[in-house]
Amino acid sequence: MDRNAFKHLAAWNQSMGEALDVLSKLAEHNELSNEDFTIKQAYFKEQFASVNISVLHVLEKAEQKILFSSFKERRAFEKKTRDPDDCYFDVLRREEERRDLGLPPLIGVLRGMRRATSQEILSEILDGREKDAGPDEVDPSDAEMSGPGGTRDGKE
């Protein structure tokens, strides 16, 4: 969008404002102080407002396109220059701010957690199947799955 469009719109509004002033002065004359001239003045104001709205709508769309492309450009630059792991430093700084304000931390360390073994996971899955399907529908050979490939005999 041409940046001079705003200047042109301002000039248009100034010129039309002057034209409306002239029409108001003309309406003071007895010959033009009739209903027909008043209706034409109102029509002129209506068209003037309509043109302003149309131009502003087009300018708004153009500005939104510029805004969107600028946002994409900024985000691309930030992705190139910012390390994704910097978010952890941001969290650390925020937690320090909260501590300085005397607020409780939002992030904590879970103690006493341990990793589940694959056998425990499989047994939980099978227990869930037994509850859902009933004891007759569970395949007992599913419990024998082991090995890195997940094959029944442990071979890859």
The model's pLDDT over 115-128, given as tens digits with 9 standing for 90+, comes to 777 787 788 778 77
pLDDT at residue number 64: 94
pLDDT digits 0-9 by tens, 84-121: 788 888 888 999 999 999 998 888 765 666 677 778 77
The vertex-112 CA angle with 106 and 116, nearest 5°, equals: 110
Of 18, 23, 69, 63, which Cα lies nearest the Cα of 42?
A: 23
Tens-digit pLDDT string for the chain (156 aa): 677 888 988 999 999 999 989 988 888 888 877 888 888 889 999 999 999 999 999 999 999 999 999 999 999 998 888 887 888 888 889 999 999 999 988 887 656 666 777 787 788 778 776 565 555 554 555 544 444 444 444 444
CA 147 to CA 15: how far, in whole Å?
84
